[in-house]
C-alpha cells in the first residue's frame, strides 16, 4: 500500500503536526516553512492534503490564511477543533528554579502570560513552538525553557516541568483540511459550505447579497471581511453557511449572492465537526 502524506506549517512537534497525527493516523506528516508551502505541497502532489489553523478562540483568526483563501485552488474538505495544551519544558537536568527565560511563539506566550509572570521568567518570541523546543534541546544555555506541545517534548527529548501552563483551560484552535478535490457528502449530513465573495459597490450590497441565505432559512456561522488590495478600497468577505451546496435552498441563495457580487468563489464544503454540537 502506497504511503499517504499530509502537510502542515511548522517543524515536527508543532500543534499542527500533533493534530495531523491525531486525525490522520495513516498519513505521514510533511513539515513546511509557511502556509503557502503547505498548500503548494498538495498542489504539486507531494501531499494528499494540507492541515492549516484558521482561528483560535483566544488569539483570534490566523490572518495570513485569508489572503491564501482569496487565490487558493484547493478545496476545504474537513474541519477539526483541538484543545491546545501548552507545557513548559526544558533539558532533563534542569528544574523550574533554574529557569530564567522561556522561548515560544508569540501567541503561546500571550496565552501563558499570567503563569509566566508567576514563575518569574522572562518571555522571548520564537518563530514557532516546536522551533523553540528544538532550540532549547540543541542549545548549551542552562537557564531557559520552551513552551510547546507534549509531542515536541518527546521529539526533542525535553522534560516537561509544568503541564498546562495556558492561562485559560478552554483554549481551542480550529483547523481546516485542504485537498485538490472535494469529497462527496450525503445531503442528509450536517454540512458547512465556505464561500469567498466581493460585493458590488452599491448601497446595502452586503445586506442584499446575504439576504438570500436568510430568506431560504440558511444559517450563517461565520462572516468576516478582509482587504484584498493595498489601498484599502476593496473588501472580500468570507462566509460559512450551514447548508449542502447541492441543496435547493442553497442554490436559490447563491443566485441572490451572485446578483449583488462581482465575484463568488466556493472554497469547499465539509461535514460539520461534532465539536459544533
Could you say which of 175, 197, 213, 237 is catalytic? Answer: 175
Could you say which of 173, 193, 197, 250 is catalytic? Answer: 173
Q: For residue 37, which phi and psi values (nearest 5 degrees)?
A: -65, -35
Query: With the C-alpha atoms ordered 57, 183, 219, 276, is the resulting torsion angle positive or negative?
Result: negative
Q: Would residue 175 show up in a list of annotated catalytic residues for this protein?
A: yes
Give the containing element (helix H, strand E) for 147. strand 144-148
Q: Would residue 90 show up in a list of annotated catalytic residues for this protein?
A: no
Closest of 164, 161, 165, 166 to residue 145, by C-alpha: 161
Judge whether 265 and 197 are in contact, CB under 8 Å.
Answer: yes
Judge whether 14 and 21 are in contact, CB under 8 Å.
Answer: no
Rg (CA), the chain: 21
CA-CA distance, 114 to 139, in Å (whole number)?
A: 26
Which positions are annotated as active-site residues? 173, 175
Amino acid at each position: 500500500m502506497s504511503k499517504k502524506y499530509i502537510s502542515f506549517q511548522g517543524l515536527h512537534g508543532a500543534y499542527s503536526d500533533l493534530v495531523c497525527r491525531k486525525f490522520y493516523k495513516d498519513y505521514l506528516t510533511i513539515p513546511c516553512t509557511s502556509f503557502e508551502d503547505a498548500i503548494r505541497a498538495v498542489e504539486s502532489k507531494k501531499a494528499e492534503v494540507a492541515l492549516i489553523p484558521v482561528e483560535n478562540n483566544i488569539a483570534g483568526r490566523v490572518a495570513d490564511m485569508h489572503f491564501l483563501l482569496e487565490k487558493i485552488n484547493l478545496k476545504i474538505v474537513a474541519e477539526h477543533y483541538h484543545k491546545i495544551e501548552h507545557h513548559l519544558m526544558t533539558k532533563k537536568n534542569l528544574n523550574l528554579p533554574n529557569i530564567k527565560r522561556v522561548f515560544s511563539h508569540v501567541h503561546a506566550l500571550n496565552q501563558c502570560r499570567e503563569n509566566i509572570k508567576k514563575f518569574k521568567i522572562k518571555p522571548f518570541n520564537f518563530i514557532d513552538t516546536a522551533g523553540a523546543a528544538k532550540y532549547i534541546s540543541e542549545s548549551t544555555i542552562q537557564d531557559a525553557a520552551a513552551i510547546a506541545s507534549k509531542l515536541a517534548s518527546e521529539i526533542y527529548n525535553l522534560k516537561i516541568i509544568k503541564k498546562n501552563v495556558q492561562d485559560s483551560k478552554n483554549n481551542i484552535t480550529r483547523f481546516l483540511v485542504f485537498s485538490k478535490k472535494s469529497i462527496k457528502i450525503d445531503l442528509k449530513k450536517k454540512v458547512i459550505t465556505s464561500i469567498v465573495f466581493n460585493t458590488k459597490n452599491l448601497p446595502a450590497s452586503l445586506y442584499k447579497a446575504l439576504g438570500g441565505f436568510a430568506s431560504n432559512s440558511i444559517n450563517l456561522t461565520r462572516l468576516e471581511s478582509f482587504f484584498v488590495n493595498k489601498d484599502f478600497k476593496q473588501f472580500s468577505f468570507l462566509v460559512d453557511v450551514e447548508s449542502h451546496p447541492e441543496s435547493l435552498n442553497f442554490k436559490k441563495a447563491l443566485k441572490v449572492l451572485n446578483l449583488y457580487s462581482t465575484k463568488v468563489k466556493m472554497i469547499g464544503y465539509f461535514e460539520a465537526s461534532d465539536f459544533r454540537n
